[in-house]
């Protein structure tokens, strides 16, 4: 319902369902209705285990900003729903025995790659499937060009991107040409021209699946790779077909 990266006339439906069935009694921590951003683009989403701890009374969820650490705990600015980060709130000392600092994810550097890969308008994240530079399909910069998304957990799509790379490396007929890689990027920009951010700056799980399926089906020589790329099975069949294709291709050349 949000494959083009922006709020649509149908976005209220999945947002309401998430508030009712996922957030439930904690729906006050979801982005407020009418914010214009919605759950798709600004969501304090946590896993079910954290919600279970909060609902059982073993943990408490606070909305706000950390001010500083004190001798007794954390000086915290508690904000109401809809108040932006750093906005007005009620300052309070949250007493604690242990403070765990989650530093987050640091994006790997692309500085070691050649300069030709960064030529505009096809610099990261505006690459083929967001991770393949159009001028070199032997590079898969997975999680290095990522900006923002929802639902695209790494344990699922990292393997798929890796198998895309393997397919491109061992099968010349399945390898995309630079011209068509750039056309895919251009097409994505057109489809997401109403997106509040860059076309490849934000995407959803549904959009990522659409990318994968479209790229696999658009080239008939990639169809044999579908079970391997999407599910990690059936390597023997596509490789045997590739060997026969190579013999035929070499004979023609």
Condensed to tens digits (0 to 9), the pLDDT of residues 176-195 reads 999 999 999 999 999 888 77
Looking at the fold, whether 55 and 66 belong to one and the same domain comes out as no
For the cut 70, the answer to whether the pLDDT of residue 71 exceeds it is yes
Question: Looking at 37-46, 71-80, 236-245, which range is the least confident one?
Answer: 37-46
Q: What sections of 193-235 are H helices per DSSP?
A: 205-218, 226-231
Give CA–CA dist 77/92, Å, rounded.
6
In a domain, 36, yes or no: yes
Contacts (Cβ under 8 Å, ≥6 apart) of 51: 22, 23, 26
Number of domains in the chain: 3
In a domain, 110, yes or no: no
Looking at the fold, whether 56 and 82 belong to one and the same domain comes out as no
The per-residue pLDDT for 76 is 94
Looking at the fold, whether 55 and 80 belong to one and the same domain comes out as no
Condensed to tens digits (0 to 9), the pLDDT of residues 127-150 reads 999 999 999 999 999 888 888 777
Looking at the fold, whether 31 and 44 belong to one and the same domain comes out as yes
For the cut 90, the answer to whether the pLDDT of residue 45 exceeds it is no
pLDDT bin (cut points 50, 70, 90) of residue 50 is confident
For the cut 80, the answer to whether the pLDDT of residue 248 exceeds it is no
Looking at the fold, whether 55 and 73 belong to one and the same domain comes out as no
Looking at the fold, whether 124 and 202 belong to one and the same domain comes out as yes
| Residues spanned by the domain of 161 | 115-252
Condensed to tens digits (0 to 9), the pLDDT of residues 197-215 reads 788 988 888 888 889 999 9
Looking at the fold, whether 36 and 77 belong to one and the same domain comes out as no
In a domain, 216, yes or no: yes
Per the CB < 8 A criterion, the answer to whether 207 and 192 are in contact is no
pLDDT bin (cut points 50, 70, 90) of residue 234 is confident
Looking at the fold, whether 183 and 231 belong to one and the same domain comes out as yes
Contacts (Cβ under 8 Å, ≥6 apart) of 113: 133, 139, 141
Looking at the fold, whether 14 and 124 belong to one and the same domain comes out as no
For the cut 70, the answer to whether the pLDDT of residue 43 exceeds it is no
Looking at the fold, whether 46 and 145 belong to one and the same domain comes out as no
Looking at the fold, whether 131 and 155 belong to one and the same domain comes out as yes
The per-residue pLDDT for 35 is 62
In a domain, 109, yes or no: no
Looking at the fold, whether 128 and 246 belong to one and the same domain comes out as yes
The per-residue pLDDT for 46 is 64
Task: Write the DSSP string, 118-187.
Answer: G-TTS-TTSSBTTTB-TT-TT---TTTS--EEES--HHHHHHHHHHHHHHHHH-GGGSPPHHHHHHHHHH
pTM: 0.74
């Amino acid at each position: 319902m949000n494959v083009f990266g922006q709020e649509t006339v149908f976005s209220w439906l999945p947002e309401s369902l998430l508030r009712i069935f996922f957030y439930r009694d904690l729906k006050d921590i979801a982005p407020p209705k009418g914010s214009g951003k919605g759950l798709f683009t600004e969501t304090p989403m946590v896993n079910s285990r954290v919600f279970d701890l909060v609902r059982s009374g073993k943990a408490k969820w606070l909305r706000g900003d950390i001010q500083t650490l004190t001798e007794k705990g954390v000086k915290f600015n508690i904000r109401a729903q809809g108040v932006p980060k750093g906005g007005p709130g009620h300052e309070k000392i949250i007493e604690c025995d242990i403070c765990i600092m989650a530093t987050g994810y640091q994006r790997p550097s692309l500085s070691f790659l050649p300069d030709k890969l960064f030529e505009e308008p096809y610099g990261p994240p505006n690459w083929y499937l967001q991770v393949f530079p159009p001028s070199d399909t032997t590079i898969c910069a997975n999680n290095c060009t990522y900006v923002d998304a929802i639902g695209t957990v790494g344990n699922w799509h990292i393997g798929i991107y890796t198998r895309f790379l393997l397919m491109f490396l061992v099968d010349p007929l399945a390898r995309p040409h630079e011209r068509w890689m750039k056309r895919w990027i251009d097409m994505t920009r057109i489809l997401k021209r109403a997106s509040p951010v860059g076309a490849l700056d934000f995407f959803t799980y549904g959009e990522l699946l659409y990318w994968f399926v479209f790229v696999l089906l658009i080239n008939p020589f990639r169809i044999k790779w579908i079970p391997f790329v999407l599910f990690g099975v059936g390597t023997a069949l596509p490789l045997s077909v590739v060997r026969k294709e190579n013999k035929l291709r070499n004979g023609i050349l």
